[in-house]
Chains A and B, each alone.
Chain A
Amino acid sequence: MTDHSPLERRYRRWLALYPKSFRAEHEDEMVAVLMQGAGPDQTHPRLSEAVDLARHGLRRRASARRFPSRWERQHANVMFPVRILIALWLCFISAVLIGFHRAELWLLLTVPAILLHLYIAYRIRPGAAPR
C-alpha cells in the first residue's frame, strides 16, 4: 500500500464503500481499470465514476446484509405500493407536525424514514434486477 499516487488513493477511498470480501477479490483489478481509464493530468475521480462506485458499492453492501429482504423482494407487487404509501403518510404526518405544532425537530426523524422507505421502494421497484 505504499507509493500510491493521490489519484489512486482517492479511487481506493471510493472503493472502500464496497464490502471487504468484494474488495479482497476485486479491488486491485478495479484500480487497474480506473487508472488505465484516467487521463494523464487527472488528479481526482470523475464525478460519474465516483457516483458509479458509490452506487454499486453501497448496493453490494446492502445486499450482503440482505436488505431489502428476500421476502420483501418476492412480495414486491404488494410491498412496493406499501412502501410508497408509508412514505406519503410520513410526509403527511411531517406536514401536520410542522403546521400545527411547529415541531421542525421531528423532521430529523421523519425525513430519514421517508428516504429509507423510498429507497426500499426503488430497490424493489417493478422491473428491477433481482439482485
Chain B
Amino acid sequence: MQEASFLILTALAGSSQHGYGIVTDVAQISGGKVQLKAGTLYTALDRLSADGLIEPDREEIVDNRLRRYYRITRDGAERLADEADRLRANAHAALTRLRPGVAIS
C-alpha cells in the first residue's frame, strides 16, 4: 500500500471527511511531511473506492462548493489494520537490529 493511501485510510478511520479535510488531517498525522495535492488525492480516493476500501458518504454544499464526504468501509478498516501490523513488525525488526541486546517493549 502506498503511503498516501495508508494516510488517507488513517484519516478516514477516525471519521468521514471531505477532500480538504483529508488534506489537512493527513498533514497533521504525518507531522507536516505529507501535503497531498488535489491530483494525488483524487487518484488515491478513486482507487480506494474502486477497491471497496472507502465509499462516498454524504454531500454538502458550502459557499457554493461541493463537499463530498468519504468513509472507510469494513474491508478498508481490515486492510488498514493489516498494513499497520505489517509496518509495526518491520519497524520493530529495524529497531531491534539497530540496538542488539536491547529488548524493545
Which residues of chain A have a CB within 8 Å of any CB of chain B?
22, 25-26, 28-37, 48-49, 52-57, 59-60, 129, 131
| Count, chain B residues at interface, CB 8 A | 19
Kindly name the residue among B39, B46, B68 whose own CB sees the greatest number of chain A CB atoms within 10 A.
B39
How close is B7's CB to chain A, nearest CB, in angstroms?
A: 16
Question: If the complex has contacts A29-B68, A33-B23, are A60 and B37 also in contact, measured as CB distance less than 8 A?
Answer: no
Prevailing SS type, chain B contact patch: helix
Asked if residues B40 and A52 are in contact (CB atoms below 8 Å), the reply is: yes
What residues on B are CB-neighbors of A35 within 8 Å? Answer: 65
Asked if residues A32 and B46 are in contact (CB atoms below 8 Å), the reply is: no
Question: If the complex has contacts A26-B46, A33-B20, are A55 and B39 also in contact, measured as CB distance less than 8 A?
Answer: yes
Contact with A along B10-49 (1 / 0, CB 8 A): 0000000011100100000000000001111111011100
19 additional A-B residue pairs with CB within 8 Å, beyond A26-B45, A29-B66, A32-B20: A22-B46, A25-B46, A28-B66, A29-B19, A30-B19, A32-B65, A32-B66, A33-B19, A36-B65, A37-B20, A49-B38, A49-B39, A52-B40, A53-B37, A53-B39, A55-B39, A56-B39, A56-B43, A57-B39
Query: Which residue from chain B places its CB closest to the CB of A22 in the assembled complex?
Result: B46
B2 part of interface (Cβ distance < 8 Å): yes
Query: Which residue from chain A places its CB closest to the CB of B59 in the assembled complex?
Result: A29
What residues on B are CB-neighbors of A129 within 8 Å? Answer: 2
How close is B56's CB to chain A, nearest CB, in angstroms?
A: 10
A52–B19 alpha-carbon span in the complex (Å): 16
B67 part of interface (Cβ distance < 8 Å): yes
Asked if residues B38 and A28 are in contact (CB atoms below 8 Å), the reply is: no
Please pick, from B23, B40, B68, the residue contacting A56 in the complex, using a CB distance under 8 A. B40
Please pick, from A29, A49, A56, the residue contacting B18 in the complex, using a CB distance under 8 A. A29
How close is B17's CB to chain A, nearest CB, in angstroms?
A: 12
Asked if residues A52 and B38 are in contact (CB atoms below 8 Å), the reply is: yes
How close is A88's CB to chain B, nearest CB, in angstroms?
A: 31
A28–B61 alpha-carbon span in the complex (Å): 11
- Could you name 19 residue pairs across A and B whose Cβ atoms are closer than 8 Å? A29-B42, A29-B67, A29-B68, A30-B19, A32-B18, A32-B19, A33-B19, A35-B65, A37-B23, A37-B38, A48-B37, A49-B38, A52-B39, A52-B40, A53-B37, A53-B39, A56-B40, A56-B43, A60-B43
